[in-house]
Amino acid sequence: EPHENAEFNIGGILLPLGKVMTMQVDEIEELKATTVYVYCRSGNRSGQACLILETMGFQPVNVAGGMLAWQERVNR
């Protein structure tokens, strides 16, 4: 989501779950042959997005625990 991207941007392309759910993924179509890392704040929406992207032929990997878990590990 845009507000989360502003807070937790680690690079990449912003693609909100709403766009994935309506299959508006033209901006990442060329990434089908590569692994796509998907993240959100807690890992829930990114998990949903991964399931949808997989049915569309992508190779998604959910960043488990989202950016909250990422920050916790980095700040140790």
DSSP letters for 38-56:
E--SSSHHHHHHHHHHHHT
Domain of residue 53 covers 2-74
Q: What is the pLDDT of residues 27-63, one digit of tens each?
A: 899 999 999 999 999 999 999 999 999 999 999 999 9
Q: Global pTM?
A: 0.87
How many structural domains is the chain composed of?
Answer: 1
C-alpha 44/C-alpha 33 separation (Å) is: 24
Query: What local confidence, expressed as pLDDT, does residue 64 receive?
Result: 92
Q: What CATH number has the domain bearing residue 26?
A: 3.40.250.10
